[in-house]
């Protein structure tokens, strides 16, 4: 499974006239656990590690950028592989 981030902005209060920019597609991981809109944890069986995805208000915060939309993908589509970031190389904290 992969986490795709999009509808990005540089600042949490930035006004967008459009959909913003695309973010990374992070994975693979085996399951996800969310707690309200404050925490999301991604588990990797292969790495035996849990990664935490932080939220800022109602947006995902990743690498100093903010994303209003995200989706969980069963696989990373071939045409989007250029955006893929492995969990190990991601900027997510190991929980």
Half-sphere exposure for 81 (CA within 13 Å, toward CB): 4
Distance (Å, whole) CA 56 – CA 68: 10
> How many domains is the chain partitioned into structurally?
1
As a whole number of angstroms, the distance between CA 1 and CA 7 comes to 20
Domain that holds residue 76: 2-94
pLDDT tens digit string along 52-91? 999 998 899 999 999 999 999 999 999 999 999 999 999 9
- 39 beta partners: 35, 54
- Residue 64: its pLDDT value, please? 95
| Sole residue written with tokens 């969310």 | 34
- pLDDT per residue over 12-38, tens digit each? 998 888 889 999 999 999 999 998 878
Which are the contacts of 60, defined by CB distance < 8 A and separation ≥ 6?
5, 40, 53, 54, 66, 67, 70
- Whether 43 shows a pLDDT value over 90: the answer reads yes
pTM (2 d.p.): 0.93
Query: Could you give the CA distance from residue 40 to residue 32 in angstroms, rounded to a whole number?
Result: 7
């Amino acid at each position: 499974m992969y986490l795709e981030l999009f509808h990005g902005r540089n600042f949490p209060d930035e006004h967008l006239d459009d959909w913003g920019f695309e973010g990374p597609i992070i994975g693979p991981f085996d399951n996800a656990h969310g707690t309200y809109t404050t925490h999301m944890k991604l588990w990797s069986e292969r790495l035996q590690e849990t990664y935490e995805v932080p939220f800022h208000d109602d947006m995902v915060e990743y690498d100093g950028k903010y994303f209003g939309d995200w989706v969980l993908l069963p696989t990373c589509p071939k045409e989007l592989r250029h955006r893929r970031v492995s969990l190990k190389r991601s900027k997510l904290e190991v929980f």
